[in-house]
C-alpha cells in the first residue's frame, strides 16, 4: 500500500487506499492464459513461494491471518531489473489471530484453498500455509489438489490426501512431494512451524544433493603398478689429481704382493696335509653313502608333506573366496533406517538374503505415512548392489553398498546413509 486516507466528494467522506498498479494482473490470470502443460519451473516456484511466504509471515508477526490466500490474490508486479515481484492483496477477510480463533461458525474463504480447520470455523496462521501449499501444488502440476462442488471440496479437504505432485509432473522429486504434503497436512500442528519454514524447506527440496567424493588415497597406500622409477640424475665424473693417481697405484701394488704371499703359504700347507687327506677320504666315502640314503628318505617325506600342505592351502583358499563372496551379501540383510530422521527422501529399507537373491523393500518420505515402493529381488553380483524400482511411472536406480556397520544408498543424485535398526 502506497497511501491511504479520506476525501470529501459531493459532500460525502470517501475513504481510499493507493496500491501499485500491476499491469500483468494476478497469478489467476496467468494460470488462465497458459496451456495445461505449461507449469512453473522449480526456480520460479521457489522464488514465488519465498515472496508470498515473506508477506504472510510479516502479517502473522503482526498478529494477522489473511484467511483467503489464492492465485487471484497474488499479483505480478514488474520490476526494472530482475524477476517480477509477487504482491499479496485483498486482506478484506483478514482477522487478528485471537478473533480468528474465536470466530466459531464464521466460515470465510475460497473453498478450493481452505484448510480443514477453516471449514470448521477455526483459523490459525497455519491455515495460510495450507492455502499457500494448495497454490504451490497448482503451480507445479497445473491443477488444484481437489476439485468438485462445495460439499465435495469440504469432504476432500477434511478427509482425503491429494495425489502426490510427482504423479502428475514426473520431473518432481519425492522430496518435493514430502514438502508439499506436509504443508497440506490435515492438522495445523503437523504442518511446518511457520510459513517461512515451509518456504525454506521447499527451497532445500529443489536443490540437487551432491554425491560425496571419496578422499584421495595416502601416497604410501597408492597402487602405482609396475612402473620403473626414473634413474637418478647423472653427475659428471670427477677428475683425479696427479697425487691421488700415485697413491692409488701404490695401494694396488701392495694388494698384489700380499696376494702372492698368501698363495705361496697356502700351497705349502696343502702339501703337508695331503697324506692325512688320503686317510680321511675312505672314511668319508663310507659315511657319505649312509648320509645320501638318509637324505633321500628325508626328501621323500618332505615331498609328501609339501603335497599335503599345497592341498590344504588350495582348499583353504577356495573356502576363503566363497566366504568373501557371501559375506558382503549377508551384510546387507536387515531393517535399515536413514540416519537423517528429517530426510525428505528414502526413510528406510528392509533387505533380506535367501542365499541366492537379495530382496529390497524401500520406503520414502510422504505424509501422513511413508510411501511404499514395493519389493524387488535380484541376484547379488557384487558391491555396490544395484536394483531398479518403478515409482510413479519413473525408473529409480538404487546402488547399495556396505560401509562398516552402515550401508550407503545412492538414488540418482541423492546419497543416503543407513543404520541397522
CATH number of the domain that residue 414 is part of: 2.40.128.20
Q: Does residue 352 sit in helix, strand or coil?
A: strand
Task: Answer with the residue of higher pLDDT: 274 or 344.
Answer: 344
d(CA 135, CA 152): 19
User: What is the arithmetic mean of pLDDT over 280-306?
Assistant: 40
The answer to whether residue 235 is domain-embedded is no
pLDDT value of residue 18: 81
User: What is the arithmetic mean of pLDDT over 399-408?
Assistant: 85
pLDDT at 265 over 80: no
The answer to whether residue 59 is domain-embedded is yes
The answer to whether residue 166 is domain-embedded is yes
The answer to whether residue 233 is domain-embedded is no
**Which residues constitute the domain of residue 145?**
3-205
- Across 39-53, 216-230, 336-350, least confident range: 216-230
Q: Strand 371-372 relative to strand 385-391: parallel, antiparallel, unpaired? A: unpaired
Q: Taking Cα atoms as reference points, which of 181, 169, 77 lies closest to residue 129? A: 181
pLDDT value of residue 305: 46
- Longest pairwise C-alpha distance within the chain: 158
pLDDT at 400 over 60: yes
Residue 72: pLDDT band (50, 70, 90) is confident
> Which of 20-34, 76-90, 182-196, 200-214 is modeled with the greatest confidence?
182-196
pLDDT tens, residue by residue, 345-354: 788 889 898 8
The answer to whether residue 99 is domain-embedded is yes
State the burial class of residue 223 (Cβ atoms within 10 Å of its Cβ: 0-12, 13-18, 19+): exposed
Which residue, 205, 220, 245, sits at the end of a domain? 205
Residue 96: pLDDT band (50, 70, 90) is low
Task: Answer with the residue of higher pLDDT: 258 or 385.
Answer: 385
Residue 173: pLDDT band (50, 70, 90) is very high
User: What is the arithmetic mean of pLDDT over 71-94?
Assistant: 72
State the burial class of residue 199 (Cβ atoms within 10 Å of its Cβ: 0-12, 13-18, 19+): buried
pLDDT value of residue 220: 47
Other Cβ atoms closer than 10 A to 399: 15
Percent of the chain clearing pLDDT 90 (strictly above): 25
Q: What is the mean pLDDT of the chain?
A: 74
192 shares its domain with 335: no
Q: Which residues contact 163 (CB under 8 A, 6 or more apart)?
A: 145
The answer to whether residue 319 is domain-embedded is no
Number of H helices, E strands in the chain: 11, 15
Q: Which residues pair with 85 in a beta bridge?
A: 77
Looking at the structure of the chain, the number of domains it has is: 2
Is residue 65 within 8 Å of residue 117, measured between CB atoms? Answer: no
Which residue, 205, 232, 256, sits at the end of a domain? 205
The answer to whether residue 177 is domain-embedded is yes
For cell 637324505, name the residue.
295
d(CA 363, CA 372): 5
Is residue 70 within 8 Å of residue 112, measured between CB atoms? Answer: yes
Q: Taking Cα atoms as reference points, which of 47, 174, 187 lies closest to residue 130? A: 187
pLDDT at 319 over 60: no
d(CA 369, CA 363): 10
d(CA 211, CA 181): 26
User: What is the arithmetic mean of pLDDT over 303-307?
Assistant: 42
194 shares its domain with 337: no
d(CA 106, CA 108): 6
pLDDT at 277 over 50: no
Task: Answer with the residue of higher pLDDT: 221 or 340.
Answer: 340
Catalytic residues: 68
The answer to whether residue 266 is domain-embedded is no
User: What is the arithmetic mean of pLDDT over 104-128?
Assistant: 85
d(CA 62, CA 49): 20
Residue 297: pLDDT band (50, 70, 90) is very low
Q: Phi and psi at residue 350, in whole multiples of 5°? A: -110, 115
Calculate ∠ Cα 216-218-419, nearest 5°: 60
pLDDT value of residue 135: 93
pLDDT value of residue 100: 45
Which residue, 187, 205, 223, sits at the end of a domain? 205
State the burial class of residue 303 (Cβ atoms within 10 Å of its Cβ: 0-12, 13-18, 19+): exposed
- Which CATH number does the domain housing residue 17 bear? 1.10.510.10
pLDDT at 412 over 60: yes
Q: Taking Cα atoms as reference points, which of 93, 36, 40 lies closest to residue 69? A: 93
pLDDT at 280 over 70: no
- Across 26-35, 64-73, 345-354, least confident range: 26-35
- Across 216-225, 323-332, 366-375, least confident range: 216-225
Amino acid at each position: 500500500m502506497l497511501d491511504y486516507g479520506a476525501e470529501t466528494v459531493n459532500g460525502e467522506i470517501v475513504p481510499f487506499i493507493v496500491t501499485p498498479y500491476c499491469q500483468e494482473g494476478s497469478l489467476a490470470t496467468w494460470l488462465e492464459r497458459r496451456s495445461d502443460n505449461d507449469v512453473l519451473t522449480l526456480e520460479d516456484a521457489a522464488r514465488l513461494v519465498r515472496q508470498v511466504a515473506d508477506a504472510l509471515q510479516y502479517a502473522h508477526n503482526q498478529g494477522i491471518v489473511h484467511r483467503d490466500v489464492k492465485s487471484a490474490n497474488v499479483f505480478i508486479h514488474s520490476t526494472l531489473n530482475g524477476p517480477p515481484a509477487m504482491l499479496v492483496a485483498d486482506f478484506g477477510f483478514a482477522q487478528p489471530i485471537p478473533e480468528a480463533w474465536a470466530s466459531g461458525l464464521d466460515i470465510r474463504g475460497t473453498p478450493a484453498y481452505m484448510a480443514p480447520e477453516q471449514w470448521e470455523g477455526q483459523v490459525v496462521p497455519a491455515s495460510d500455509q495450507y492455502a499457500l501449499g494448495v497454490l504451490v501444488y497448482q503451480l507445479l502440476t497445473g491443477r488444484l489438489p481437489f476439485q468438485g462442488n462445495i460439499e465435495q471440496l469440504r469432504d476432500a479437504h477434511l478427509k482425503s490426501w491429494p495425489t502426490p505432485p510427482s504423479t502428475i509432473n514426473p520431473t518432481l522429486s519425492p522430496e518435493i512431494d514430502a514438502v508439499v504434503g506436509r504443508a497440506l497436512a490435515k492438522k495445523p500442528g503437523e504442518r511446518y512451524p511457520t510459513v517461512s519454514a515451509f518456504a525454506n524447506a521447499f527451497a532445500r527440496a529443489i536443490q540437487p544433493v551432491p554425491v560425496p567424493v571419496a578422499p584421495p588415497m595416502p601416497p604410501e597406500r597408492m597402487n602405482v603398478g609396475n612402473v620403473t622409477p626414473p634413474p637418478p640424475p647423472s653427475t659428471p665424473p670427477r677428475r683425479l689429481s696427479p697425487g691421488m693417481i700415485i697413491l692409488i697405484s701404490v695401494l694396488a701394488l701392495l694388494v698384489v704382493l700380499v696376494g702372492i704371499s698368501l698363495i705361496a703359504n697356502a700351497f705349502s700347507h696343502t702339501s703337508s696335509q695331503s697324506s692325512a687327506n688320503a686317510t680321511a677320504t675312505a672314511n668319508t666315502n663310507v659315511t657319505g653313502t649312509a648320509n645320501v640314503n638318509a637324505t633321500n628318505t628325508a626328501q621323500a617325506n618332505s615331498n609328501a608333506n609339501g603335497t599335503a600342505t599345497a592341498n590344504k592351502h588350495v582348499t583353504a583358499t577356495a573356502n576363503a573366496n566363497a566366504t568373501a563372496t557371501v559375506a558382503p551379501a549377508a551384510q546387507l540383510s536387515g531393517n535399515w533406517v536413514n540416519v537423517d530422521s528429517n530426510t525428505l527422501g528414502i526413510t528406510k529399507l528392509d533387505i533380506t538374503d535367501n542365499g541366492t537373491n537379495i530382496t529390497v523393500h524401500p520406503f520414502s518420505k510422504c505424509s501422513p505415512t511413508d510411501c511404499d515402493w514395493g519389493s524387488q529381488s535380484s541376484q547379488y553380483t557384487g558391491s555396490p548392489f544395484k536394483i531398479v524400482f518403478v515409482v510413479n511411472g519413473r525408473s529409480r536406480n538404487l546402488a547399495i553398498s556396505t560401509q562398516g556397520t552402515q550401508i550407503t544408498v545412492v538414488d540418482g543424485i541423492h546419497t543416503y546413509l543407513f543404520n541397522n535398526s
